[in-house]
Structure 1
Amino acid sequence: MAVNHQKVVANYLNKHKVTEKQISNSQPTSKDKQGIYADKSRKPRFIKRKPPPVIHGKANISHLPDELLLELFEYLDAASLLTSACVCKKWQEITNDNSLWITIYKNYAKFKGRPVIPTGKLPLSYWKDLCLKRCSEERNKNVQKMMKRIHLYTGLPENTVKCLKKCGITYQLTTLDNHGVERSYRSSDIFYHTMSVSIRWYNLQGLAIKSLRKLKILSCNPLFFNSQGVVIPNSPYQRSLLTEVSIKWENWKKENKPIKEDENIQLYKISNDILLATWKADGELAFIVCGFHHNNFINRCLLGSYKCQYEPKEHKVISDDIDPNYGLHHYKCTVELRNIRQSIWNQQFQGLECKQNNIVNNICALILRRSNDVTDRLPVDKQIQLPWKTELFKGIVKDVCWLDVTLLDERGEVFWSLSSPVYTMSKETTKNVAMDFEYKDESKLEMTIKTVDVEVLIQLNEMDDGTRFITHLELQLDISLVDTWFGTSYRIPGKQVTEKQTENTISY
């Protein structure tokens, strides 16, 4: 057996013996510093392989070769791939591989016929970027079709709530503390109203309000839908910034008092969008509520980005040289008082106007209800209060609610809108014998909310039995807002108030 074995080995060596001529022909004409062929098109027969990396301790998944990791990532869905891309740079490159995303593209992107595969070398994330782009465009296209119908009562898009639900849009609260630590929380509750949406967070574990530096509210917009238009489970989503507030809580609290409170919590109005509650016992955060008006809300959700809010298209001015009071008449306004869950009071006012000689200090006042008209008061049947709850507690804060306003111009376009928390402020008790006996003893209350261009004034009278009536309701518009919208020139710099004009204003 040994002799036969030697013969087999000798024959193998003779067949594979390299002659001197073959060696001379295989020598490279030029070498680089490592001894590799300078001619990159020719490969050497023998290349010295790099030694395997030294592993200290136990081996982990990061030591696997890229080819094996790619095979593992083939079992993940799109959302998991996007999450894995955030682990490290190596994983980001592998999860962006075109071989992974072309299959996802074929399953979820809308296209006619077969997908056109471009020739040549493709960028690393070509199919990923194209897939997310096509899915986003298709979703937005379907939404725009649904938003064409206008509600006859409010003048807002009729299917806003339907679109929000069908698109599966959820909301996220993101906080940043003094140490740069960012935390995110999904909304606990979502409530839809006639002209707005309410969102609430009360499961805020690990958030210390004393170190709070920034608050962000974002919408999370799914991208993948099935053939019936239903969001698939665990779909990847885009985030869009809705509102952002920079706040150093300890400094801010010294300058701002709570607007209302009960035996358990104190309410703070952070902005016209956000209401924040803290516990009386320890001053920690209890819950956060925000409200957004339906006007442009769908576009704010779908067309914004993580860092920048959606900017509406510039309004196209339609001028009118015939009407001398153009832009001062035929307004329609819908006003609603509500809490987080339900409506408290709602009414619409039509034919609103302001005469040109009644513009005082460049303020155009639209009177929805006059205080001197005692025969036509607006009863508020439900209590003005804000019910609240957390995982363990619940309660009611009185004399605070949410105000929604939609103001339409004479063409039925949304001229101005508002959704903001408001609260009542008590005034002195008045006794007016000229009034009917039923309104003899009244307690005067006021609610005001001011934005950059508009101030809303609401006056209420409360009877001894607790019945409340809205006796005065007014919108004060900066005349520059009217000039910008209608292309007029009513604003007069430095205009003084005359005695005749003060007679037309309302004093409180």
Structure 2
Amino acid sequence: MATGRGWALRQLLRGHGPPAGAVGLRKGPGIRPTADPLRHHASCQGCCQDGAVSLDGMPSEVLLKIFSYLDDVNVLCCCCLPSSRRFYHGADYYFIWVRIYSTAFPPKRSTWNLKAEEKTAMPVTRLIMEEKAAGYWKREYIAKQVASVKAVVAQLLRPVNPYTGLPVKIKEALRISGLGWVIILRDKSGKEHVTEFVDLSINDTSVTVVWYGKNWPRLATLSTLDLCGVTPVFMDRYKPPFKDGPRWRSLISKYSLSDLTETTPMGCDGLIRVFCLSPGLLVGLWKREEELALVMANLHFHQLMERSTLGSATVPYELPPHSPFLDDAPEYGLHGYQLHVDLHSGGVFCLCGTFRNLFSRKGYIENGYVKFTVINFENNTQHVPLIGKVGLSWKTNVFEGCIKSCSIMDVTLLDDSGKPFWCFSSPVCMRPSTSPCDTCNFLGLRYCIDYVDSEGRLHVDLVWIKETEEYFVVSLALYLSVLKINRWFGTDY
């Protein structure tokens, strides 16, 4: 027999009364439980032939009795039901939210020599006597719960990893905030298809979120895809998140799907082709049908909580105005930078490296970019191997596979003060290199990885060593936008 909070509510919504012999639900403060508070009686006009009780025909006293046994999340869900006006007003009843508020936030003044029931009844009575506007205690309770969770999350995000410059306890912050992600597929007529994520993996500096299923809308009818973070409207940090409750939606990025099949795929295997949409989204299509197979979002930890919670359903979160940092020695160029690079797929890392004390001399500019040489080809002591095989693992309800030469790259660049300067997480592809290099050809087959966005470029040269069957990174260069540098430091570089 199903028991627990919200059981009576779910039974009533399904049109069922309580089971035979059911005793009153959980005892609420200040309320005397009855043997069967939901028993059918002759005065109820909403009774069905099989003896079930309908909500519209139920007396108000019985509805209030039911609500007194529910917790905060279930009562708030009842307030959001549009189907029954009586149900909404019953769940919004003044006394119910006074009881919930007083239980969660009792007065700090201690009272001696009183029983537990009396201690609870006293603050409730005191709050009832205070004249407040309708809905006041509900709003106060939600505001305090939200503020409590935000304070805990902000405290967890303060400690920073010295290697990455990112929060150390972000996994715990994600759990306490109840943060999740959805994609909204919007067709050309404006209809929305909201899809919850199926799989999630937390890496060292990023989160990989995957969606797949059997009931995707046809690709030809779709126009855009919205990636949104979702959080409960309010949470109790001591309870797990309630997935079916009201949630706040924060737009992270919007992508166009109209011309997806006309773009160049990033890679393919025997079943699917994958396309990369900036920033950080990978879309897989079945090769036979040209229909959606999966969607993968790669989210860097840098300002992840802000981007996933502080935007609205239609407008992404905007960064606050940047206050330029003072460059203590501009005549020497940029120095003291630190880079952290991860190359991974499916929780398996083939590269995880930290490079310190990077610098670029003053005036070393190429086509509007300042170059940092991270790994120098001429210095073989800096060359690093890739561990294992490079490939992007994927799976759906039925099939799974691996796309060779593709993977996820996470880059975190810190400035000389240890602040994140350039961060991204994106699918990348290893392609045969076309630039001339006789020495590289002598070593083995050459490949390269390239990434570019509005803030910078990254170029990696690799060599395949046939004897050991492994890739070696023989060159790695960063190109930072001069506009980004000038905006960061408030200078004219």
TM-score by length of 1: 0.75
Question: What's 1:461 paired with?
Answer: 463
Give the stretch that moved more between structures: 114-123 or 151-160: 114-123
SS of the residue corresponding to residue 342 of structure 2 reads strand
Contact 1:461 1:468 in 2 (8 A): yes
Question: What's 1:140 paired with?
Answer: 150
Contact 2:332 2:361 in 1 (8 A): no
Over 3 Å counting, the alpha-carbon distance change for 1:390 and 1:100 in structure 2 is: same
Question: What's 2:82 paired with?
Answer: 87
Distance 2:95 2:188 in 1: 42
Distance 2:447 2:304 in 1: 32
Determine whether 1:192 maps to 2:202. Answer: yes
Question: What's 2:292 paired with?
Answer: 285
Shift of 1:302: 3.9
Residues 346-397 of structure 1: per-residue CA shift (max 9 Å, x gap):
1111111111121233311111112344453221122110111112111111
Contact 1:430 1:442 in 2 (8 A): no
Number of residues of Structure 1 aligned to a counterpart in Structure 2: 427
What residue ranges of structure 1 are gaps of 5+ in the alignment? Answer: 1-54, 491-508
SS of the residue corresponding to residue 229 of structure 2 reads strand
Question: What's 2:25 paired with?
Answer: none
Residues 58-99 of structure 1: per-residue CA shift (max 9 Å, x gap):
997557787776666555544444444242583555544433
Q: 1:318 aligns with which of 301, 325, 341?
A: 325
Question: What's 1:446 paired with?
Answer: 448
Shift of 1:338: 0.9
Determine whether 1:401 maps to 2:403. Answer: no
Contact 1:204 1:287 in 2 (8 A): no
Determine whether 1:299 maps to 2:295. Answer: no
Contact 2:72 2:100 in 1 (8 A): yes
What residue ranges of structure 2 are gaps of 5+ in the alignment? Answer: 1-45, 110-122
C-alpha RMSD of the superposition: 3.2
Correspondence 1:311-460 to 2 at 5 A? 311-320=318-327, 323-325=329-331, 328-374=334-380, 376-428=382-434, 432=438, 440-460=442-462
Question: What's 2:486 paired with?
Answer: 483
What amino acid does structure 2 have at the position aligned with 1:401?
A: S
What amino acid does structure 2 have at the position aligned with 1:244?
A: S
Contact 1:429 1:444 in 2 (8 A): no
Give the stretch that moved more between structures: 418-427 or 102-111: 102-111
Question: What's 2:168 paired with?
Answer: 158
Contact 2:369 2:456 in 1 (8 A): no
Determine whether 1:102 maps to 2:101. Answer: no
Question: What's 2:252 paired with?
Answer: 243
Shift of 1:481: 1.0
Contact 2:252 2:308 in 1 (8 A): no
Shift of 1:236: 4.1
Contact 1:262 1:397 in 2 (8 A): yes
What amino acid does structure 2 have at the position aligned with 1:461?
A: V
Distance 1:127 1:74 in 2: 15
Distance 2:195 2:376 in 1: 45
SS of the residue corresponding to residue 353 of structure 1 reads strand
TM-score by length of 2: 0.77
Q: 2:236 aligns with which of 216, 219, 225?
A: 225
What amino acid does structure 2 have at the position aligned with 1:102?
A: V
Contact 1:371 1:471 in 2 (8 A): yes
Contact 1:441 1:464 in 2 (8 A): no
SS of the residue corresponding to residue 295 of structure 1 reads coil
Contact 2:374 2:477 in 1 (8 A): yes
What amino acid does structure 1 have at the position aligned with 2:250?
A: L
Q: Which has the larger radius of gyration?
A: 1
Question: What's 2:28 paired with?
Answer: none
Question: What's 2:112 paired with?
Answer: none
Over 3 Å counting, the alpha-carbon distance change for 1:245 and 1:111 in structure 2 is: farther
Contact 1:108 1:135 in 2 (8 A): no
Over 3 Å counting, the alpha-carbon distance change for 1:95 and 1:244 in structure 2 is: farther
Over 3 Å counting, the alpha-carbon distance change for 1:325 and 1:238 in structure 2 is: farther
Contact 2:411 2:423 in 1 (8 A): yes
Contact 1:449 1:455 in 2 (8 A): yes
Distance 2:458 2:73 in 1: 45
Over 3 Å counting, the alpha-carbon distance change for 1:482 and 1:430 in structure 2 is: closer
Over 3 Å counting, the alpha-carbon distance change for 1:119 and 1:316 in structure 2 is: farther
Distance 2:292 2:190 in 1: 19
Contact 1:331 1:350 in 2 (8 A): yes
Give the stretch that moved more between structures: 184-193 or 325-334: 325-334
The percentage of aligned residue pairs carrying the same residue is: 23
Contact 1:430 1:444 in 2 (8 A): no
Shift of 1:167: 3.5
Question: What's 1:252 paired with?
Answer: 260
Residues 292-319 of structure 1: per-residue CA shift (max 9 Å, x gap):
1111112333434434333333333232
Shift of 1:208: 2.7
Shift of 1:233: 5.2
Contact 1:327 1:482 in 2 (8 A): no
